[in-house]
Amino acid sequence: MTGIRVLGGDVERGAQVLTPDALEFVAGLHRSFAATRDDLLARRSVRRPLGFLAETAHVRAGDWRVAEAPAPLRDRRVEITGPTERKMTVNALNSGAKVWLADLEDANTPHWRNVVAGQVNLYDAARGTVDHRSPEGKHYVLRDGERPAIVVRPRGWHLPERHVEVDGAPAVGALVDFGLHFFHNAELGRPYYYLPKLESHLEARLWNDVFTAAQERLGIPHGTVRATVLIETIPAAFEMEEILYELRDHASGLNAGRWDYLFSIIKHFRDRGADYVLPDRNSVTMTAPFMRAYTDLLVRTCHKRGAHAMGGMAAFIPNRRDPEVTRQALAKVREDKGREAADGFDGSWVAHPDLVPVCREVFDARLGDRPNQLDVLREDVAVTADRLLDVRSAGGRATRAGVVGAVDVGVRYLLSWLGGNGAAAIHNLMEDAATAEISRSQLWQWVHNDVVLDDGTPVTGELVREVLAEVASGLDGEHLAAAVELFERVALSDDFVDFLTLPAYERID
């Protein structure tokens, strides 16, 4: 394997997925596409005015549709998300959902063991041979019957994989995740993917080129790969049609990645003044006008082009010790999913198996015997750039409780992430990197824009550090000091860190 080095340690059954041929395949993708990836990441730092692109108006005006969805992806009324940990793999496949989003990105800490074991678990899941025995001796096995289609989410373009080196440089994390999965499982006929963190149609074009090359190199028919793109950045919201167009032979839909979308808005407008300051995270609901504009445009765009529109995450974790908390939360989940179904979405996400029946019930009532509602064209929707950018329409204020909550969730999540668990149960919610990103970026924005809380208290670095000390005093864990130091850095440093997972990655393994 000339020019390829695996720097990570041994992982159980790692040799089964890190074969010489598989690593050569990954290295070939890296050599072909890493330079373009690097150029596109550099373009992100050039902050252009947001709006619909004049140079791609012909795409938006054109008469085209994406390829028809393959049979396993025509009915996506409920999708369950979660990391590729062994127990989660079995539970997701037994959940009754139509799709399992197997998450190698925001819900996964990229410890080398997680990266490799995730591929092992996906290998077994694709072949129906996955099981799990807990330390207590409980045996988790796949039940008979229909199982969800597996849709793998690789890491975003920005993340490296430092445990695999190609010609002296860290491999592109996205190409490691995609390449290993595709190499070992594409021949089974269902190489389906969720693409995160795209900021332009040019980044979608790169993925399309990767898919085309991968299929050619393994002799897989063109168009076998299918990709759903998460529209979770504000620049991508203005290029939905262009993104589908670039991937039209491989596209199967778009998803409203609501939490990352809020993070992207905060990040993009972090230093633009009071007109772009968001209130407490929990007060920004999907009914805010600028969020409604985003989701309405997504449904309109998808159905105009024959693609599926997928709704956002229901992150609640049922609390069996407190039935009243669970009852109230399930009512909110049902209301949220009902709004999505009425708006024309073809399905939605949940984070816990107990929420699958709730989401399914709501979409069953809307869809009946239909697999989707691609026929709901939403021709009533006409979204302008101003509506997408009207952040002030969120209303609300920043509060002391919002500061405490942001610090608490951020530190707890990083404590979990540094310990190897990227899907953290915090206060009856399944949190991933997106909510930690909102927490720290919101504090950065409040501090750097001289925000005053509703009680008259200015949000300063000193206030955040005071709350940070209070929160830390009530926590413990091996990685607490590192989590506190890292959170303070990404929330308060003068230079805004684009993704907290980049400095966090330097602290693991």
The beta strands (E) that lie in 7-96 are given as: 78-83
Question: CB of 258 within 8 A of CB of 79?
Answer: no
* DSSP-assigned states of every residue in 241-263: HHHHHHTTTTEEEEEE-HHHHHH
Burial of 478 (0-12, 13-18, 19+ CB in 10 A): exposed
In the chain, DSSP finds a helix count (H) and a strand count (E) of: 19, 15
276: tokens are 């772009």
DSSP codes, 288-314: SHHHHHHHHHHHHHHHHTT-EEEEEEE
How are beta strands 131-133 and 4-6 bridged, if at all? unpaired
Q: Which of 76, 86, 153, 248 is catalytic?
A: 153
Instruction: Please state, in angstroms and rounded to a whole number, the distance separating the CA atoms of residues 121 and 131.
Output: 9
Asked if 78 and 364 count as a contact pair (C-beta separation under 8 A), the reply is no
Count of other CB atoms within 10 angstroms of residue 372:
22
The structure tokens 């984070």 sit at 351
| 363's tokens | 């979409």
Two structure tokens written together for 422: 């990227």
**Burial class, 368, CB count within 10 angstroms (exposed 0-12 / middle 13-18 / buried 19+):** exposed
Catalytic residue among 124, 260, 336, 432: 432
Tell me if residue 432 is catalytic: yes
- Nearest residue to 114 (alpha-carbon basis) of 4, 6, 11: 11
- Mind telling me the catalytic residues? 153, 432
